[in-house]
Amino acid sequence: MVGVLATATLAGCKKDDPATTPTAPTENVLSGNLETMTLDASKVYTLKGLVYVNNGKTLTIPAGTLILGDKASKASLVINRGGKLIANGTASKPIIFTSSAPAPYKNYGDWGGIVICGKAPNNQGTDITVEGPTDFSVTTGNGIYGGTDEADNSGSLSYVRLEFGGIVYSPDKEINGLTLCSVGSATTIDHIQVSYSGDDAVEWFGGSVNCKYLVQYRTWDDDFDTDFGYHGNVQFGVSMRDRTVADVSASNAFESDNDATGSTKTPLTSAKFSNITIMGPLVYGQSNVSANFGAGMHLRRNTNLTVQNSIIAGYPTAANFDKYNTTVANFVKNNLYGSWKAANSSNANGALFTAGNNNDTTGFWAANKFAAVSSATSAAQIFDFTANTGGLPDLSSGNATQVSTSKGLTGASFTDLPAPFFTTTTYLGAMGTTPDAAWDWTSGWLNFTPESTTY
Each residue's pLDDT tens digit, 41-87: 999 999 999 999 999 999 999 999 999 999 999 999 999 999 999 99
Q: What are phi and psi of 284, to 5 degrees?
A: -100, 20
Between the alpha carbon of residue 139 and those of residues 70, 129, 143, 237, the distances in Å are 26, 10, 10, 37
Question: How much of the chain exceeds pLDDT 90, in percent?
Answer: 63
Q: Is the pLDDT of residue 364 over 60?
A: no
Digit-coded pLDDT (tens) for 432-443:
999 999 999 989
Q: Residue 270 — pLDDT band, cuts 50, 70, 90?
A: very high
- pTM of the prediction? 0.89
Lowest mean pLDDT among 63-72, 261-270, 368-377, 419-428: 368-377
- In the chain, the domains with their CATH numbers are 4-10+28-452 (2.160.20)
**Which segment, 213-222, 261-270, 333-342, 373-382, is predicted with the most confidence on average?**
213-222
DSSP code per residue over 248-307: TT-B-SEEE-SSTT----SS----EEEEEEEE-GGGG-STT--TTB-EEEEEETT---EE
Shortest CA distance to 154 belongs to which of 96, 87, 214?
A: 87
Looking at per-residue pLDDT, the higher value among 215 and 394 belongs to 215
Q: Is the pLDDT of residue 338 over 70?
A: no
Instruction: Give the SS3 label for residue 354.
Output: strand
Looking at per-residue pLDDT, the higher value among 273 and 366 belongs to 273
Average pLDDT, the chain: 84
Q: Residue 18 — pLDDT band, cuts 50, 70, 90?
A: very low
What type of residue is 374? Answer: S
Digit-coded pLDDT (tens) for 139-162:
999 999 999 999 999 999 999 999
Q: What is the mean pLDDT of residues 109-121?
A: 97
Q: What are phi and psi of 394, to 5 degrees?
A: -95, 110
Q: What are phi and psi of 450, to 5 degrees?
A: -65, -25
Q: Is the pLDDT of residue 198 over 90?
A: yes
Digit-coded pLDDT (tens) for 416-425:
888 999 999 9
The answer to whether 253 touches 340, Cβ cutoff 8 Å, is: no
Q: Is the pLDDT of residue 356 over 50?
A: no
Q: Residue 169 — pLDDT band, cuts 50, 70, 90?
A: confident
The answer to whether 170 touches 134, Cβ cutoff 8 Å, is: no
How far is 352 from 375, CA to CA, in rounded Å? 8
The pLDDT of residue 321: 73
The pLDDT of residue 382: 83
